[in-house]
Structure formats: structure tokens, C-alpha cells
Structure 1
């Protein structure tokens, strides 16, 4: 995605001020557990949370003064989600939480915050609370100071009350964007300032967040308790050439992040600058640059002073000349390949919370660019530098240097790629020079398959996700690869700290996750997207990668922790069923089929107890769905039908019949898997049988028509279950399910595995696809019937 320089400047500036930046999409924000820092870069660390059942959320539609329309959903647990609906002025936002309120600021408004626009105009939580949402108000009350309100589109005055009319608010947003493009950012026509006004009968206006100020300005953080003394901190900076430097970065209280996390925003402030902060111990984390940060070629050094006591007026010098170079290479590295280097870090206070700069998501990418912590030949600094630090005593300090070596960043990569991780706990090490011998690499051999549909034309992509105890990183540069068997190489200097996960983007636009695992030198084999996409028996990971507005959480709570996919506690069973399983039972898809592509029905002793037909959309995904179980042992039926999100000819219907009771044996879960809804208690498996296919197919998921076809499949319970099918039958259709062959018994080979042979007609006598229907049961009578339309292609 190419971002215009002016847009990039604004987005990154807000990223540093607010902590998260993203593109239009669904925003999910966890509840705040702390009192509020004036500038919040990351939420305090929380204990791992098991998946919980979805509860009804209150929803409201809010139109901002820029004309942007948002759907704001608030669940009873405090979780807030914001879905942008209409963006007349721009397609990007910044989002942050202050004193429990969620702020969503459109890109068009970004250059005007503080100087011309009151940031509270974008406090969507307050707008809902004050009944200024679209269901209750057609206007937003405002005050215009120092400017002629008639010069502002959509602004009207009636009886001394000024308001922005929502119906016309898009004109104001477009005016802001136009002035920005024409070189007049930060000022309204005629000067002045637009602020949110109090509406009679509404709750009091919230206190406005403190934003990073202007060069050499004195910036004050509001104390969290009465009488907390403030001191002046003067920051000077020396660049690598010995001249006065420009700084971008963070100053944070490491006794308690709630007392202050202050950002000096992109494109940086020339030193010296003065800040006012409460007394305490502070960490200084700044990129010191030879020039303004919006020149991406400017050399910079990450200068960190992790523990500085501030008990009086204090002067600090950040000297970039003390930085050591990051220089990594691998044996036999191709000379013509492109190496992209990055540095990430996480600094938290003794009470949790702080700053986490990671190579993940839109916000992470923009922060890496803003801080010049990424190097790409010809486009960014020639080399990365960082200052070594002693181990910290207050809170935590973690650092990682990362390199990706690829043949092409934007084009296809037929040759091996190299992914190198150099994490370090507690400090920035004294040397950042690394030479990786070939014997220490893990060779990852990957076989990839295209989805068998005419409209599945997306180029395949193969990415690496890396989880450290303090961050998650996506190594996705050069992700485009040809559809062929390939080898890539991974390495970590701390293999026990580094959890790897492959992600494959298939030709039908879907993504599949591989298992998360630590690696040793040697060989690893993986295969993606062979066989039909069907429900997966894998237990889903609780740490879910996400991007976008308020996207990926900075803290990795437990990267390998999973939740039971279908388990029962007392009279509740919680479903976390995963789609897009393939020939590897540990794989599953990113997200679930959207509701319009998925339906669920559930019967108890033959009586319908739950159906998606009663919903307005008549659709539902079995992800976070609670099934009401009977208080005694009973017979159940669960049906899940889904249609491919992009390949709409691929349709899967799975019908489970099973018996379950409250006294069923506890599930033998490993320590890294939890139950729902109460993760502190045991649970029992729902005895659902899953079909995993082992079809001999080419790389386009096709086989040859006009000849007998022998294939295998496994029918077994969910991950960690010992449940296995004992008998199975197979039917096949070559006209997309209009007619089916008679069921034929499959040959059992043990441990739930079966083989079957079907007679395939000539290609002209088919639609070009084969569809499969498999029925199976275990020794206790639990059964499954799965029908897959377009299970594989024929040639």
C-alpha cells in the first residue's frame, strides 16, 4: 500500500501522539484497566483471557463534524468496537482511549487538533453518552472562537446556539482536507478554533487529552493525585554528525505509566525542548536524527536512557554518537537480495503499561517509519543504530533487531527468503553485529496449493509471524511467492523466546494459520490449502493477530495459549469452531466466515433450540456461540453450513449428532489450553467428529478425470481428544450436488483413518469439479455427515 507523503506525515504524527493508527475497518478495543495517562501508548498488561461467549452490545451510529459516520458498539464488559461507515474526507483514522472514552479522529482533522479543532469533537464515547448520536440529534453543538462561523461549511447559528449540521458535515471535512492539501494545515478560514459545546441536560464535557505540543513548548501532564509536584525536563540532542539533532519518541514514567507517557510527535522537534512532568523515574526513548523525520533518508539513532530519576529540574543530553550499528548477515546470503532491517522495543513501567514499538499492523509500520527504525536500501537510512543500555530495575525493557532478506519486496520471490530475529531481554545489548552460520538456520520446506475455482486469481502470499514474550511481529515483506514447492530460512538468536507461525494467503482470498512453535536448526515441512476447506479440529489461539484502527495489542499475553473449540461447562457449551481447515489438522482460517456466509442450527432431543433463522440476517458463525444444554444427558444435533467468502461455489454443510451430559469426563487438556467460559475450571469435550482430507492433488487442487481415484481421510475428535471414528461411507457427485452416487463403505486403516476409491467419469461428463459427502460414526454412536460442493477440481 503506497501512502502519500503528506498523509504519512499526518498519520505517523498522530500515531506518536495517540498510540494507534489504522485504515478503515472494524476497531476492537479492550477495556481500560488503569487511570489514564495523558497520552496512552499501550494498555497495561493483563492476564490471559479465555474466549468468552458473545453478549449483546449496545449500538449507536455517530456522525462526526467531518461527516464521517461510525457505528459504535459497547458490550457489557466494556469492550468497544467502532466500524467506520462513511468517510467523505479520507479513509484513515487514529484511535485512542483517554479516561475510559474512545476517541476516533479522521485523517482530515488530524493537522487541526489542538490548534483549530477540539479533540473532544471526536470523543465518540461522550457523543453517545450525551445523546449526540444520530438517533437522538441531527446536529453537534459547537462553539466558534476567533473566527467567522459563516466561513465554516455546515455550521449554523440559531438563537445564539451554534451547531454543525450532520447532514452537511461532509462539506466541513472536505474543506479541512482541501486546506491541508493546499498548504494551510492547522488553521481554519479566518483563524479561530472550533470546540465541542455543552448541550443542556447532557453530562458534563470530559477533560480534554493533552497532546504533544510545539517546538520548545512547555508541555504539562495532569497529575493523577492532588499535590503531585511537577519538574521541568530539558532535552538536548546531538546527532551522529555532532550537530543539534531532531528528536521523535517517548518519555514515560516507569514507576507508574499512569503518571505519564508523553510523545514527541512526527516529524520531530529540534532540540532543545522542555517538558513538565511529575516527579519520578523516567525512560527516555528517542530517535535522534540528523534532520526532520519526514525526510526518510535522514540518519538516526535510537537513544534510550531507561531509568533517569526526575526529582528536580533536570537536563538530559541524548547523544546519537554513542549508538552502535546494527549489522546482520547470514552465510551464503545472495549478494543481489534486498535486506530490510528493523529495530523494535517494549518499555513498561513497574505497574504495567508503557510503549511497545513492534513490526506489526498499520500502527506499527507507521511508528517504525516515524522513528526511523526501519532500513530499506535506497529509501531509508543507510544503517540503523541504537545505544546500549544497562539492565533495568523499574518495569521491563526488551529489544529486538530484525532482518528480512528477499529477492523482491513487491514482486514474486521464487528463491529462498531469510527471516532473522535477534531478541534481547532486559536491555539493548552492547553489540548489534551478528553473523549467522548456515548450520544454525531452520530450513522451512513449504508446499502450497491454489483453490480450485475459476475466480480464485489472487497471487499466493506466504508470511511469517513471530511472537516474543513482549511483542508480535509480521515479517511480510516479499510475501508474494510463486505457486510451487519452496524453501525459506528462519533464525533466532534466542530460539526459546521466539515462537514462529506461518500464514498463507490463498488464491481465493482466504488466509490460513499454521501452528505456533519454537524452532531448532534443521528442517521443517509444511503444506497449505490442499484439499477442501472444511471445519478444522484445531483449538484456536487466544492471542489473535489483528491490524487496523486500534488493532494488534502491543502485549503478547501467551502466544501459544489456546481455547477449547467445542467444550461444555455445566449447562453451557461454547463453540469456537474454526473454518478453512485443510489437509493439516493444525491449520485453520483467519477469522470465520462472515455472518452472511454462515448459518447454524441446534437441536436438543429432536427439538430445535437455536437457529440463525431467527436473526435479522438469518446468518450466524459458530464462533463464541453458547449452546443451551440440558441438565441431564441428552441427544443433540448441530448443523453448520457455510459458503466460501470469495469462492461462492464452494459450499460446506456439516451435521453433527452426539450425546452429552453434565457428568461427562473432563477433557484432557494440556496446560496451554483453557475452557470457556470459566478458564479456571475444567470442561468436557463435545464429541464432535471432524473430517480431515488427504487427497492426492496437484498444486491447483485438481486430479485427472476419467480414471479411478483413491484417496484417504481421517475422522476424529477435536485437538487433544482421543475420539476416533470406526466406520465411514463416501458418496460423490460430479454435477455440483444435483445427483449423488450410492454411499460406499470406506476401508478403515486404524486410528480413525480411512481410504476410498471412486470411479471418475470423463471430464466432459462433469462440471469440472467433484463434490464429496462423507458420513462417519464412532463406537459410542456420535456421528457426522459432511457435504462439500466443489471438494476438488478435475482436469
Structure 2
């Protein structure tokens, strides 16, 4: 067995796709984001970003957070562990096919058909709110049925013989035109002791011949397959009375099919307990195991099982002879309760080729990178969620789970360092509702380095995302291709460059915007609730103006609620590629032919406010770094201005401005003392030597607490 350190996130898992990549390069592009509601009330945030896909789970309130994810035939399934024993019988697998639900547009309300009755189903639909009752009832039933090892399962909830998705759902399986053989897969826990197990079976010659996730009920599953080589993984979970996973045993083995036959998988052989030790004392809070098999000719199968802080055991396996084999161990552990300076460890270990008998992993300090994480919050005691997804070189799909934290918070987070590990972190500003989704982008860290990371440090304002160092593939968000101008603003950026997506308008949440691209007194683009668009422009040099207004209020935010941004720039026909190699500018072809970056001015803020978004009365300052859109030329700036307003933007006060060089300016002013305190708005502007400019104002950029009279 070869052990290669890699990384996990907060109960994060990675599922491999159908075509393994030789190496997962940092890829960022125009992306799509969907939030899918499962019938159990859990929600899954799915992002497709430059060839990589991530899916992050927001568990329903009260959930144990134990999830299984499977990927097959291009579809991603996210299944609560409590649903596993009922898949294919009482529960339709299509209920958990996240990819199909997105294709069918079933993301907010899940249409279901119930033979009988089920909690949480209202008028034939389940929402995130009502689904919590369905999920809780399912967990309770799994806890009851686990007492007799699921031997005498009756209808779900006492009356539901079957719950089906009332939508097209998963694609139909294609059956190969080969002579077929029946394989009986017997799952036992010791000789002559049948036991249920969740299985993954793949033809390791070519997965198109067979690739499925059958379930062994009462110790037996049957599959009809053609001759060939096969890999099988069996998961033997145990549940407590609340439906929470207490342990899981994993057995992986290969077999060849030449005719009708029986294969026995013995869970009692999984005796090697998985454990991880860290340099400083830490308590395990979540653990995820992931099995990955790739076929010799084409295709692969991924199966990951989150076991929380339950026990995990594996059976040693023989080295794989046909196709590829990986088994990942992923853990998240935290400092003991009451630690003055809290810390955490996110670790991911890769078993390549086989499973060995020794499953204890010792991590040393010189393998780790240190992240000094600061979670800013302008609402005291804000319940947030954090997720860390890690990609190994062969992985193209990542899966994670949001874990709660209370902000403001400063915490040291240790991760394994190395060039082959790619991290994608995300934060929810509103954990209870799933609001304020903030993406961190793809990064890797070298061992024995320290990196400061700041989430939601204000002011929060629209702009353009800048690719991180080492990024080799990027979708240009402000470019001209021949005579086509395309702009896609990032809706909200914090001071560290993290992307915050606008929440859907609901009760108590306002989210609206207006985007315009103007030239010669005409609107080339005029859209409501969009962050850009594409327009045809005349070939000759011309002046352009972008006006973007945004209003964003939600219960989990107090500051940076309104912004007004204006960009002016000049542009002419682009007949050559000036953006870096590897970039894409055409959303259809993915190419950058005749593409050049627009000279939009950007602004990056460094307020002096604290973790709570407050600044004291008296002297204050901000440093603003002006630059240009990624891929363009960094022209010098000929002038800049920074103003503050203490009355919501009715009047503006100039600041003392110091030119720090390189487009960086420091503004200084005095916050007036008040017995009631108040919010302070900020307005910045800059013009480069070519006349391109940005003016941006942010209402309630920070706050000054009241002082005693």
C-alpha cells in the first residue's frame, strides 16, 4: 500500500467522475450554482466551475449529518445514510439524484407520489422546511429497524409502501447486448450470519458493461452481468436508536465472472480500525471514507460514506490487477473544549492500489500548512457554516458538508500541504437558512507555510474576481472578443476576494440589482437582477460606461446593504489574443481566440474595523488598492479619491489621502463620537492614465458603536 497525504474538509468527501484527470489543475471560470432540496429536508449546493464540480450539503436541523454520495453514469446521488436500507424498495433512488433534479428544474420543491402517507408531504410536494419532518421520521424508523437488523421492515412511517419522485428523475439504464450471467452477492457478518449491506459493483474492464449500486437485503443481492472482471465494495453500517451511524465496516474485493456464480463478502473481516493522530490533541468530529475504482478502458465509480465520529474498520485487500483503486480516509478534528486559542485539523489520506492492514495514520507538524482563519460578522453570535472540499490529483468531483461555527471567530486551521492537494472552501453567513453562500475558490498550500484567511471582512462590494497564483485556466469575466463585449461582475466580494452570491428574495430578504452597459447615450445592455451580459460593439474606438446598482439585505447581514458602482473605459476591435494562454472567453467554444481584457478598474479594501465590523470613535483609516481587470495591463493611476459619509450618503466628507504607490492609497479621517453610534458609508474613485475610471459607494460599510455621554 502506498500512503499519500492529502486533505479533507469539514466532513468533506470527494467523488470521482467518469474520466479521471491526470492532475486537477486550479481551474476557475464562469460558474453555475444550484441549491437542491432533498425529500429529507437536507439541501445540496452544487457548483460547476471550470471543469470541476463541487456539491456541499446543508443538513436539515437535527440531522446527524451522515451522508452517502455516489456518482454513476454522469449523475451525482446524495443520500442520507438513514435512507440506504430503503432504496429501491420503499424509497425511489431518483429522490436523491441531484444531477437529474437540477436537469428537471426540481430544486426548491420536490414533487413526490406516496403510496400511503408520509410526514412533510404537503399537496404532493416537499420543501426544505416540511422535509425536515420527513427526514426526522425516516431517521427514527431507521433507528427502530436497526434493532432487529432491518429483518422485519414494514411500510415507511407505518403506512407508506413506496415514496417516488413525481418527475422524470434518473436516466434509464442501458443494458449491454452481451450474454448475461446471474451473480448472487451474499453479505454476511461471519459464517452463516446474513446481514444487509450497501454495495458498489463495477466492471473493471469497461464500466459501460456494468456500473451500479445494488443493496443487499437480508444478506443477498443479485445482479445480471456479462463475463469480465469486477470490483465490489460493501459497506456494513450500524445505527443507534436515533438513526445515527455508529460504525461502518468496509470490504473491497475483486472477482471474475465466467458464468452464473455466488460471491460472498464477509463484514467480520473488516477488523483494521482507522485512526489518525495529530501533533496537538484534537477530538474527531467527522470522518468520511471514499472508495474509487476506475475501469481499464473507460469509466469509474465513486462511493463515499460519512460516518461522523463513529468507528470505521476496513478489511485488508489484495492489490488491484485490473483498473485503478483508491480509498480515501478523511477526518476533521477540533481542539478540546475550552482551549483558549481554538484550532482544527482537516486531513485526507489516500490508499492507492490496495487496502493495508495498518490503518493508523500519524500526521507530523512538518507536513502541515497553517491557515489563520478570521470569520468576520457584523451580527454578534451569527451562526455560520464552513466547508472545506479537497481534490486529489485524480479527482474532478468534490463533495462537502457545512459544519456550524459561531462568528465572529478567529481559529487556526491545519491542513496537509503539497502541490497535489487542491482546496475549495466555502462559508454560509446564515447557517440556519442556507443564506449568504460564499465561495473561496481553488487554492493549494505548501507545507510549513502560514496563510491568513479572512471571511466577510467589509466592505462587501461588487467587482471582478482575481485568479489566484498558479491558476492556469480561467474564464475571462471582462473581455472583448473581436466586436463582442462580455462582462460578468462578481455580485459581492469581501476584502480577501471571496465571492458571495446574492440570496433569492424571500420574507425578510431583499436582493435586487440593475446592470447597464452604455455607449454614445444608448444602452447596449439593460438588465434587472443580472450581473452582466454580452453585447455587440462597433469596431472603432469608443467610450463605454457600466452602471451597477445593488440592494442586498438579509437577517444575517447588517452592513454593506446598498452599493452603486460606475466604470468608464475605452475599447476598440480586438483582433488578437492578449489574455494568457489557457484562458477561455467564448462560453460556447471555451476558447480565447481574438480575446483581450477590458480595462476595467478594480478596488480592493482593507478597513481597520474589527471582527465585528465596528470601528471606534476617533482616528480611522482604510487602504484601497486599485488595479485592473484580470488579463489586462496594469496602467498607472493619475488620481484617486476616498470619502466617508456619516448620514447614509446624504453628505460626503473628504479624507486625508496618501499615495502609497502601485495603485495603493491610504485614507485617514475621524469618526465622530455619539451616544447612539451609527453606520459609516464609503465612496472611492480612481482614474488611470488612459482615462479608465471606477467610482464606487457602499452604504453602511462599517459601524461606530455608541459611547457613553
2:462 aligned to which of 525, 529, 535 = 535
Asked if residue 761 in structure 1 is aligned to residue 708 in structure 2, the reply is no
Matched, 1:632 2:540: yes
Question: TM-score, normalising length from structure 1?
Answer: 0.65
1:303 aligns with 2:254: no
2:436–2:500 contact (8 Å) kept in structure 1: yes
Whether 1:387 aligns to 2:316 is yes
> Contact conserved, 1:726 with 1:777, CA < 8 A, in 2?
yes
Equivalences for residues 37-186 of structure 1 within 5 A: 44-45=18-19, 185=155
CA distance change for structure 1 residues 245 and 388 in 2, over 3 Å: closer, same or farther?
same
Q: How does 1:445-524 map to 2 (within 5 A)?
A: 445-451=372-378, 458-469=382-393, 470=395, 471-474=397-400, 476-477=402-403, 479-481=404-406, 483-491=408-416, 495-506=418-429, 510-515=436-441, 516-524=443-451
Counterparts of 2:162 and 2:678, CA distance in 1 = 67
Within 5 A, what are the aligned runs for 1:703-722?
703-705=615-617, 707-722=618-633
Higher relative contact order (CA 8 A, sep 6+): 2
Are 1:771 and 2:696 counterparts? no
2:580 is paired with a residue of what secondary structure? coil
SS at match of 1:332: coil
3-state SS in 2 of match to 1:439: helix
Q: CA deviation at 1:658?
A: 0.5
Match of 1:254 among 198, 204, 208: 204
Q: CA deviation at 1:249?
A: 1.5
How far does residue 770 in structure 1 lie from its aligned partner after superposition? 1.2
Instruction: Give CA-to-partner distance per residue, 1:266-324, whole Å, 9 cap, x none.
Output: xx52334432222232211112468999975665421112x433222233232442653
Task: Confirm or deny: 8 A CA contact 1:496 1:518 kept in the other structure.
Answer: yes
Question: Residue 342 of structure 2 is aligned with which of 388, 399, 415?
Answer: 415
How far residue 532 of structure 1 moved from its aligned partner, in angstroms, is 0.1
- Residues 592 and 621, structure 1, Cα contact 8 Å, conserved in 2: no
- Structure-1 separation of matches of 2:373 and 2:221: 52
Q: Contact conserved, 2:369 with 2:447, CA < 8 A, in 1?
A: yes
Q: What is the CA RMSD across the aligned residues, in angstroms?
A: 5.3
Q: Aligned residue for 1:609?
A: 524
Q: 1:771 to 1:658 in 2, by over 3 A?
A: same
Question: In the aligned structure 2, how far is the partner of 1:193 from the partner of 1:785?
Answer: 55
- 1:601-630 CA deviation, whole Å, 9 max, x = no partner? 111233112112xxxxx42233xx323333
Alignment of 1:570-585 (within 5 A): 570-584=482-496
- The change in CA–CA distance for 1:441 and 1:241 in structure 2 (over 3 A counts) is farther
| Equivalent-residue separation in structure 1 for 2:78 and 2:455 (angstroms) | 38
Distance change (3 Å), C-alpha of 1:457 and 1:316:
same
Report the Cα distance in structure 2 between the residues aligned to 1:759 and 1:675, rounded to whole angstroms.
45
Cα distance in 2, alignment partners of residues 759 and 418 from structure 1 = 42
SS of alignment partner, residue 208 of structure 2: helix
In structure 2, list runs of 5 or more residues that go unmatched.
1-14, 33-38, 42-66, 105-110, 142-152, 506-510
C-alpha distance in 1 between matches for 2:599 and 2:526: 20
Change (3 A) 1:247 1:170: closer
1:21 maps to none
Q: State how far apart, in whole Å, the 2-side matches of 1:418 and 1:126 are.
A: 34
Q: Give distance in 2, aligned partners of 1:514 and 1:207.
A: 31
Q: 2:656, 2:577 → 1: CA distance?
A: 33
> Are residue 785 (structure 1) and residue 695 (structure 2) matched?
yes
Question: 184-193 vs 228-237, which deviates more?
Answer: 184-193
SS at match of 1:763: coil
Q: Does 1:356 align with 2:302?
A: yes
Query: What is the deviation of 1:329?
Result: 0.6
Query: What corresponds to 2:259 in structure 1?
Result: 312
* Native 8 Å contact 1:103 1:123 kept in 2: yes
CA–CA distance in 2 between the matches of 1:481 and 1:207? 37
C-alpha distance 206-224 of structure 1, shift in aligned 2 (>3 A): farther
**Residue-by-residue CA offset, 1:685-717 (whole Å, 9 max, x unaligned):** 111111111221222222222x34333211111
The separation in 2 between residues aligned to 1:232 and 1:420, in whole angstroms, is 41
Greater per-residue strand proportion? 2
Q: Does 1:340 align with 2:310?
A: no
Cα pair distance change 1:679/1:408, threshold 3 Å? farther
TM-score w.r.t. the length of structure 2 is 0.72
- The answer as to 2:334 corresponding to 1:406 is yes
- Other-structure match for 2:592: 681
Q: Deviations over 1:471-506 (max 9, x none)?
A: 4253754x41553433222226xx332112443444
Decide whether aligned partners of structure 1 residues 517 and 588 sit closer, same or farther in structure 2, where only a CA change above 3 A counts: same
1:656 has 2:561 as partner: no
Check if 1:643 corresponds to 2:551.
Answer: yes
Match of 1:597, SS state, is strand
The secondary structure found in structure 2 opposite 1:270 is: coil
For the Cα contact (< 8 Å) 1:537–1:717, is it kept in 2?
Answer: no
Is the 8 Å Cα contact of residues 615 and 703 (structure 2) preserved in structure 1?
yes
Other structure's SS at 1:259 match: coil
For residue 213 of structure 2, give the secondary structure of its aligned residue in structure 1. strand
Secondary structure at 1:485 match in 2: strand
Question: 1:432 corresponds to which residue?
Answer: 359
Q: Point out where structure 1 has 5 or more consecutive residues left out of the alignment.
A: 1-40, 55-65, 69-92, 131-138, 145-150, 154-165, 197-204, 211-220, 359-367, 542-557, 613-617
- Aligned partner of residue 679 in structure 1, secondary structure: coil
**Structure 1 pair 432–600 and aligned structure 2 pair: CA distance change class (3 A):** same
> Judging changes above 3 Å, is the alpha-carbon distance between structure 1 residues 406 and 208 closer, same or farther for their aligned structure 2 residues?
closer
Paired with 2:453 and 2:229, the residues of 1 have a C-alpha distance of: 48
Of structures 1 and 2, the larger Rg is shown by 1
Q: Deviations over 1:749-786 (max 9, x none)?
A: 2111112223433335x861111111111111101110
After superposition, the Cα gap between the structure-2 partners of 1:633 and 1:293, relative to the gap in structure 1 and judged at 3 Å, is farther
Can you list the C-alpha shifts for 1:137-195, whole angstroms capped at 9, x where unaligned?
A: xx99x9x9xxxxxx989xxxxxxxxxxxx997579x99x98999998527998999999
Change (3 A) 1:755 1:292: closer
C-alpha separation between the residues in 2 aligned to 1:393 and 1:114? 30
Report the number of matched residues.
Answer: 616
